[in-house]
Structure formats: C-alpha cells, structure tokens
C-alpha cells in the first residue's frame, strides 16, 4: 500500500503590515521634527562625514571669511568676546556656545576664539558643520 504525501506550503511571514508601520513612523517623525533656521550672516561651513545632534542653541559665535566676529548676530571685537561670554554665562552657566566659522577662516583664528571661550568659563562648546554632499565637485 502506497501512502500519498500531502504537500504543505511552508508558512511565510507577511511583512506588509511591518513595512506600513515603519513608513508611517518615518512620515510622522519627518513631519514632527523641527528644522532650525538661522537667518542673517552667510557663512560657508566646512563639511563633516559624521554629525552629532545639534545642541540647543544658546550662544552662536560666527567667524566670517573677512575676519569679522558676531555673537548672536551682534558684531563684536575679539577683545570684548571674553567679557561678553562671561555676561551670558552669569545668566545661564550651562549655555552651549556654537562656533560657526567660514571654511576659509584660518585654523589659528578658530583656536584663538575657542581659547577665549574656555578662559571665559564656557564648558559646552560645539563647532557647526554641514553634512557632506554626495556630489563633491559641486560648489555651494
């Protein structure tokens, strides 16, 4: 006597609900995220392959190509930077200082500003960058 084999289909995993959920979450996070825009002084930031989350902007130091210095969009001299930072730190000692230096600013100038900030008591310092573009031959 010969027995028939019953063919059973292999159980599969339906990924459609998972894909729908992931896409809905992606859309939700894209719509609920806030994009920060800083109007004012145009600076070409250097590019970086890695990027940290941008911290809460408390103080923004801008170094332009023509060696001008701005603190929260107010022009200041390098000699008064330390005292102005100390004034801000008295009001809020956990302030984050973000340095936005044009990519054409010499390295020594950025280090000098960082040293002044550290001497003024700044403990949280960040340098602003732009993410690298895929088309590296294109000028921004």
The runs of H, that is alpha helices, within the chain are 16-32, 81-91, 107-119
Model pTM score = 0.54
CA atoms lying within 13 Å on the CB side of residue 17: 2
The residues with which 74 forms a beta bridge, in sequence order, are 71
C-alpha 118/C-alpha 33 separation (Å) is: 32
Backbone φ/ψ region at 100: left (φ over 0), alpha (ψ -120 to 50), beta: beta
Look at residue 55 in the predicted model and tell me its pLDDT.
42
Per-residue pLDDT, averaged over 98-108, amounts to 89
Judge whether 70 and 62 are in contact, CB under 8 Å: yes
Domain positions in the chain are 47-131
Q: Is the pLDDT of residue 89 over 60?
A: yes
Q: Is the pLDDT of residue 57 over 60?
A: no
Which H or E run includes 97?
A: strand 96-101
Q: Where are the beta strands (DSSP E) in 2-73?
A: 47-48, 59-63, 69-71
Is residue 109 helix, strand or coil?
A: helix
Per-residue pLDDT, averaged over 45-63, amounts to 70
Look at residue 24 in the predicted model and tell me its pLDDT.
94
Matching residue, tokens 């700044």: 122
In CATH, which of 3.40.50.2000, 3.30.420.270, 3.40.50.300, 3.40.1160.10 is domain 47-131?
A: 3.30.420.270
More confident residue, 97 or 46: 97
């Amino acid at each position: 006597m010969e027995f028939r084999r019953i063919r059973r289909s292999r159980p599969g995993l339906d990924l459609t609900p998972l894909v729908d959920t992931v896409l809905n979450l992606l859309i939700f996070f894209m719509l609920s995220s806030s994009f920060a825009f800083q109007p004012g002084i145009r600076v070409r930031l250097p590019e970086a392959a890695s990027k940290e989350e941008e911290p809460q902007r408390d103080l923004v130091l801008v170094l332009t190509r023509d060696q001008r210095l701005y603190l929260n969009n107010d022009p200041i001299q390098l000699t008064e930077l330390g005292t102005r930072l100390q004034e801000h730190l008295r009001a809020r000692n956990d302030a984050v200082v973000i340095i936005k230096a044009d990519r054409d600013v010499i390295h020594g100038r950025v280090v000098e500003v960082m040293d002044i900030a550290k001497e003024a008591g700044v403990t949280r310092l960040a340098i602003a960058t732009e993410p690298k573009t895929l088309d590296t031959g294109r000028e921004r």
